[in-house]
Amino acid sequence: MVTRGIKHDVDRFINDMQAMYLPYKVPKGKVKGNYHVQLAMRPVQLWEVVFPEPALQTVLNTIWYEQQNERKAFKMPFGMMRKALKLEKVPAIDSKIPGRIVYKNNVSAYAIGVKKDVTNIEDGHEEL
């Protein structure tokens, strides 16, 4: 599903969808019976993460360290996205550089690629 619209209207639509509970019958096992389950609305979002270039390994270890092996499973679709977005491959993660602690329960994050920022010609700093 793809949504498009004014943000607060889209948010209201999603909230209304999440408020639905649908009948669900479990015919066998320990939890046998009739239940109602909430409709699960799971966004798939594309993010641009901007940070100073020297912090690359810290960012990689913060967001993607646990999912290094999962990256292989998404090689083809992410490879096509990387090409369309004109990005470079994500470099190998250096496990010697620690990541930061962030809340990641129920969240999957997958790296698509990296792109260097334009450097300011006058003073040589990154244009974050």
Taking residues 41-45, report their average pLDDT.
88
- 61 Cβ neighbours under 8 A, 6+ residues apart: 93, 94, 95, 97, 98, 99
pLDDT at 119: 72
Are 119 and 127 within 8 A, CB to CB? Answer: yes
Q: So what's the pLDDT on residue 106?
A: 81
List the domain boundaries for the chain.
1-42, 45-128
The sign of the dihedral angle between the CA atoms of 95, 81, 8, 41 is negative
The CA R_g of the chain, rounded to the nearest whole Å, is 20
What backbone phi and psi angles, to 5 degrees, belong to 22?
A: -115, 145
pLDDT score recorded for residue 38: 95
Residues 6+ apart with CB under 8 A from 53: 116, 117, 126
In this prediction, residue 45 carries a pLDDT of 87
pLDDT for 17 equals: 94
pLDDT in tens, 68-108: 555 555 566 888 889 999 999 989 889 899 999 988 888 88
